Chain A
Amino acid sequence: MANFTRSSVDITYSVWKALMLREAVSRLSSGRAAWLWLLLEPLVHVIFLLFIFSVIRMRSVGGIDTTAWLMVGLLAFLMFKRTGTQTQNAIGSNHGLFTYRQVKPIDTVLVRASLEGFLTILVAIILFVGVSLFGIVAIPQDPLLVLEAFFGLWLLGLGFGLIASVVSELIPELGKIITFAMTPLYFASGVLIPVAAIPQPYRDWLMLNPIVHGLDAARLGFATYYHAVPGLSIAYLYGFAITTIFLGMALHARYATRLVTQ
């Protein structure tokens, strides 16, 4: 008995490792060429938006090239969105695993978020390298700021996912509403419209959305001459993210047994 007791850290670590491999397999091999869609989705999205922007003859936004502006914004938004939506379903799609008492609901959420963050970074790198082959400047001037912004958005996605996963397990109806909310959030995050160009007082309202800060910080990191929105604060993004993560973890701690037994 005694010679075989593992410490809690050991157990959690091996659970994370096992879950990570399992999630990666099902994420990348479910359906036909699942990995291809990971790449194609943002690519097609950017090409479509680029087409519209070229129709209205916008060559640059806030001082930087439209393609770069769009791509950075979209990928930064995807960092939040994919992490958030994937983790929202983490508990539901791993219910069978709670048979093993080593696996806790929060493990599935954390692992999914990490996997999704990793995949999005990979996709972003591939796309940026691909685009720079076409002569568009896609090497960030301030890489640290870009990383900071992406990491903040990932944290925000994680916090969102932690809360949404509990909510959509306990109150499925509310889970659906959260899913709906993603589309308006897309429009209110400055992926399509430069928030700096929006008149007051509406801009201040939009600035309440932490994703706006993350997106513009990422763009600013790519080109330091970018006219970022006034009042940009990466600290606001991080504060918001950490608060949601704290809330989400509190929910997970509070409802740990409810989530497993339902």
Chain B
Amino acid sequence: MIVVDDVYKRYHTDHGLGKWILEGISFSIPPNLSVGLVGCNGAGKSTLLRLIGGVDVPSRGRIERNCRVSWPMGFGGGLQGSLTGRQNAKFVCRIHGHQDDIPNRLAYIEEFAELGDAFDEPVKTYSSGMKSRLQFGLSLAFDFDVYISDEVTAAGDAAFREKAATAFKKLSDHASIIMVSHGEGTLRQFCKAGIWLNEGGAHWFDKIDDALREYKKSQLEYHLNSLLAQQGMPANQEQLALEIEKTKQRQSAILALESGMKGAPVIVDHEEGLRVMQEARQLGMQLAIGANIAAQGYKLKPNMTPMLKKYFPLPHNKHIDLYDLNSQCEKVESER
């Protein structure tokens, strides 16, 4: 059980106190529940992880950890570049008080991280993928109740992610993970619940999908606002008219997406459909034609309304449904 109670956080910068990153957030994470943190860059995801991990302290408020929490795994933190992977691993074993069974744990880490000979090379020669594999292996070598991962699981390749997820499922009867990732697939793979961080506040969702959807909606709004704010002063009238036209088109594309997310798909023509699909791509969505989903190795989740209906004048004057592969479909398990 982790309780975050009315936590405020801001940092000291070179020019005095920075602005509030977290403003009075409160929630509690029950045992054995994996949680994904979503939010745009700078929303305070990593800060919150560091606070939960006990590496940093809140400016105000308090955080209770009534369980064993791992250190926050993330971008090379906790590894010393001049030492080898093995030496780093030994160090971590020692500070966690496992002086006696270092060989066993080292063997596990070596096997899990699959670094080969690189395990005995200095960590500064590692790629970021190799570093995350080492970090993930390191933390799995210890029994924690809660593992904290800052983008680590997302950095490896697909095969490693699969392996990490499987290793993690084995633990899932007594352990959970709190993670930050920009990969939606990773979040869905690991987490049940979600927390959406926005403008200093934290919003709890029992389902990670809901959190992701809220996050995307806010991104849409942000997109729209920045589009409107972007309009500088073009050189001549013609250009200005062109810019306005373009902006209007993007705006309507974004609005179409938004109403699709709310469950009221808009019917658009082919050209408009292409624009909407482009906007969707920028937001990390992947629109696919309903009939093609199976061919791409996915299947539609039950009770999904299409994101968009695209109108084809020929030959039968009918429209086709488009769905988001990432959020509305699930991968079909191939039999191997």
Contacts and interface: CB of A to CB of B under 8 A. Distances in A.
A261 B56 contact: yes
B143 to A, nearest CB: 8
Nearest to A258: B12
B95 interface: yes
Given A14-B94, A14-B95, A17-B94, A101 B71 contact: yes
B99 interface: yes
Contacts of B92: 100
A225 B305 CA distance: 99
Q: Could you tell me the dominant secondary structure of chain A's interface residues?
A: helix
Interface residues of A, number: 29
Q: Could you tell me the dominant secondary structure of chain B's interface residues?
A: loop
Contacts of B66: 1
A100 B83 contact: no
A200 interface: no
B260 interface: no
Contacts of A98: 55
A258 B59 CA distance: 11
A22 interface: yes
A1 B56 CA distance: 22
A257 B56 contact: yes
Contacts of B96: 14, 102
Contacts of B54: 101
B30 interface: no
B145 interface: yes
A12 to B, nearest CB: 10
A27 B46 CA distance: 32
Contacts of A261: 11-12, 55-56
Given A21-B90, A21-B94, A261-B11, 17 more contacts: A1-B67, A1-B68, A6-B97, A11-B97, A15-B95, A17-B99, A18-B95, A22-B83, A22-B87, A26-B80, A26-B83, A96-B77, A97-B80, A99-B55, A100-B92, A101-B54, A261-B12
